Structure 1
Amino acid sequence: MSRFSFQISATDGAARRGEIAMQRGTIQTPAFMPVGTAATVKAMRPGEVAATGADILLGNTYHLMLRPGADRMERLGGLHKFMNWDKPILTDSGGYQVMSLGELRKMSEEGVEFKSHLDGSRHMITPEGSMEIQRKLGTDIVMAFDECTPYPATHEVAEKSMELSMRWAKRSRDGFDSGEEHAARAALFGIQQGSMYEDLRQRSTDALLEIGFDGYAVGGLAVGEGHEKMCATLDFAAPMLPHDKPRYLMGVGKPDDLIEAVRRGIDMFDCVLPSRSGRTGQAFTRDGPLNIRNARFAEDEAPLDAECSCPTCAEFSRAYVHHLVRSGEILGAMLMTGHNLHFYQDWMRAMREAIEEGRFDAHADAALERYRARKIATS
């Protein structure tokens, strides 16, 4: 099989149905990637994650660099062998931590110096270093190292941040290519930046296209700007990216975010929301989010979602899951997370089918109306 290919089989408006083919497997798009930050999707066995329909996972370079460490991971045969996942893995470059760690980091032209949140030890990540760490992990889709511009940002601040990310993108490209054996079987994605500014997004895109990448991500969204501004930015940011390459919206998101982004031409997503929400008692359903802690579910014998075929919904009632979550039982987190991940994969599968059948807008409008208007108790 070739190193990396992307084929679009159907379109409906801007929405695209496609496949990414890699040596470790095929990714059906639009695709949602469960987040396995530290070589695990919390509360789930890898086989259970695969059973939800996930074709690819996301891991995090920064966290895996700190623990268990990239060198140890390489000695143990790489991330896939380590966690027993034989499908593709995409790793974030560590760029998000440039923003999120705040006082724990110091940024320069060279890269970012981090103070570990675990033990206070100092670490330097450069674009070249990020590529090397991802090589040692054995990543299938490598993300370029960038600065995730915080929101809000003035045009001047966003411009400076974007320009730094583009210089780092070129260094990431060179660093990736230097690992010839890994580069022969992996893919490298560039990350568009520019905050909410159309001119900066265009300049970022132009710079990335000049460098050349296998796929392109929209970065710097889902950082506090809200759903409407995110969609407004995607209206101009997504069409700038090449039609024949995958488009990945990083860190998104809620079920309605996914639909609106697919409507605008996005192919790939990741978010901690389904797993994190599962651990904290929120289930996603076709009728909106459900807070299983609510007392109204204490004797409710219905499944979390009557239309869901996941093991949780097939075997257990809301009353039982309510009891587990309220009691702090580990099984509660497992059942809730499993349901949420299954729901997300079903949500994506329904969109793929709607695009294939030329009815995406009708499907999207009906799904959103139901999800937003018929919310079950959320508090």
Structure 2
Amino acid sequence: DRLTNERTHRPKQSLWGVVQGAQYEDLRRQATRGLVQLSKQAEAEGKRGFGGFGIGGALEKENLGTIVGWCSDELPENKPRHLLGISEPDDMFTAIEAGADTFDCVAPTRLGRRGGVYTLDGRMNLMGAKFKRDFTGIDEEFGGYVSENYSRAYIHHLLKAKEFLAGTLCTIHNLQFMISLVDNIRKSIDGGYYEAYRDEFMGRYYANKK
């Protein structure tokens, strides 16, 4: 609030409260209520309050939706909810259904540095020997800058040669894949066909996963 008032020529500052509490419902709800109360108190004093709320801490994958749901029950509808640290498409669908709005995670970049890439048919690792003479793009159906300009074989070569460009290209592809996924989810919600899109995407992405 102070920085916003002092620097009127700059974009407004936004401080977010982050909910902790691990896997415990009572702690999650207590933390959420406390942060909401802090924000309301600041707003009552004429200050900005929290711009939004983050949901962080230890989030077991199998309990992700349940934990986000506990927090969403207590959070105001008029402020965004940001979920920290998710990695796979199924996490995103689960979190969205439980009330999360935005996300972040190191997974797309960490995976990319090791040659791992997302495709419409699931994840694959370009370090594999089978890609040595595979001159197709990473995922030509998905498209994107990397798939349209570099082959799997070339990226495989870069990985084997320990060239940093390999991680850069895989990371660009992974980020574009995730951003496209979120865009499509938003469109499906607006268009009223979210469940159909989710089932189609998930059925294909995880088709080969036991």
Same fold by TM-score, threshold 0.5 exceeded? Answer: yes
Shift of 1:274: 0.8
- Indicate conservation of the 8 Å contact 1:253/1:269, yes or no: no
Aligned equivalent of 2:111: 277
Match of 1:345 among 156, 169, 179: 179
In structure 2, distance between residues paired with 1:276 and 1:219 = 19
Shift of 1:264: 1.4
In structure 2, distance between residues paired with 1:330 and 1:218 = 33
User: Which has the larger share of strand?
Assistant: 1
Any gaps of 5 or more consecutive residues in structure 2? 40-49
Aligned equivalent of 2:31: 204
* Correspondence 1:23-62 to 2 at 5 A: none
The AA in structure 2 aligned to 1:288 is: G
Give the 3-state SS of the residue equivalent to 1:201 in structure 2. Answer: helix
Aligned equivalent of 1:357: 191
Give the 3-state SS of the residue equivalent to 1:187 in structure 2. Answer: coil
- Would you say how many aligned residue pairs link Structure 1 and Structure 2? 196
* Correspondence 1:146-185 to 2 at 5 A: 177-179=1-3, 180-181=5-6, 185=12
- Indicate conservation of the 8 Å contact 2:66/2:98, yes or no: no
Is 1:214 paired with 2:41? no
Give the 3-state SS of the residue equivalent to 1:373 in structure 2. Answer: coil
In structure 2, distance between residues paired with 1:221 and 1:248 = 15
In structure 1, distance between residues paired with 2:134 and 2:201 = 24
Deviations 1:222-255 (A, max 9, x none): 4xx2x11222222322232111110001122222
Aligned CA-pair RMSD: 1.8
Aligned equivalent of 1:335: 169
Shift of 1:360: 1.1
In structure 1, distance between residues paired with 2:21 and 2:109 = 29
User: Which has the larger share of helix?
Assistant: 2
Any gaps of 5 or more consecutive residues in structure 1? 1-176
The AA in structure 2 aligned to 1:316 is: Y
Shift of 1:182: 5.1
Is 1:264 paired with 2:98? yes
In structure 2, distance between residues paired with 1:205 and 1:187 = 18
TM-score relative to the length of structure 1: 0.49
Percent identity between the two aligned chains = 38
Shift of 1:271: 0.8
**Which is bigger in relative contact order (C-alpha 8 A, separation at least 6)?**
1
Is 1:189 paired with 2:23? no
